[in-house]
Structure 1
Amino acid sequence: MNKIILAAAASSVLLLAGCAATDTETASKVDALTNKVDELSQKVDSLSSEVQKNQATSKSAQEEATRANERINNIAQSYTK
């Protein structure tokens, strides 16, 4: 009975040791993917900033167009026959 428990313990230790060992190829792939994720995160932040700037610019242009249309409408109303 003790031999079976000892054999099971030894095999579980070897199995866990095998799972804990990292392969250098796998580690390098993980590092490459981490770098790509970081790069893409920076690009997303940059694009998000550009979108916010463009939204502000388009809102300003829309407000200016509305004011211009109101001025044109007021001028047109003053020239009624």
Structure 2
Amino acid sequence: MKIRPMALAAVVSSVLLMGCTNTTALQQSVNDLSAKVDALSNDVSMMKNDVSETKNTSGMAYDEAKRANKRIDNMAQSYTK
């Protein structure tokens, strides 16, 4: 019978101690993590813009290379032995 009141006392004291914990440090940690997430989100959006610019540039370079190859092929076809 003595075990039940001792266990109840342990649970109650644990709950009371959890209520007295320092929440300002936890809030500061959450704020720091939120700031880091925001910074990473900004970095990702900037990288997405860079990727789209690079994709457009590579597409233009590919088109220009195709056009140059066609010109070379046309020059080679005009020479016959």
Identity of aligned residues (%): 46
Partner residue, 1:69: 69
**2-structure distance, mates of 1:26, 1:77:** 75
Q: Please, what TM-score do these two structures have when normalized by structure 2?
A: 0.73
- Greater than 6 Å deviation, 4+ residue runs: none
Which stretches in structure 2 are left out of the alignment for 5+ residues?
Answer: 1-15
1:13-32 residue pairs with structure 2 within 5 A?
22=23, 24-32=24-32
Q: TM-score, normalised by structure 1?
A: 0.73
Aligned residue for 2:65, secondary structure, equals: helix
How many correspondences in the alignment? 79
Q: What is the alpha-carbon distance in structure 2 between the residues aligned to residue 50 and residue 78 of structure 1?
A: 42
Shift of 1:70: 0.4
- What is the CA–CA distance in structure 2 between the aligned matches of 1:80 and 1:51, rounded to whole Å? 45
Superposition deviation, residue 80 in structure 1:
1.4
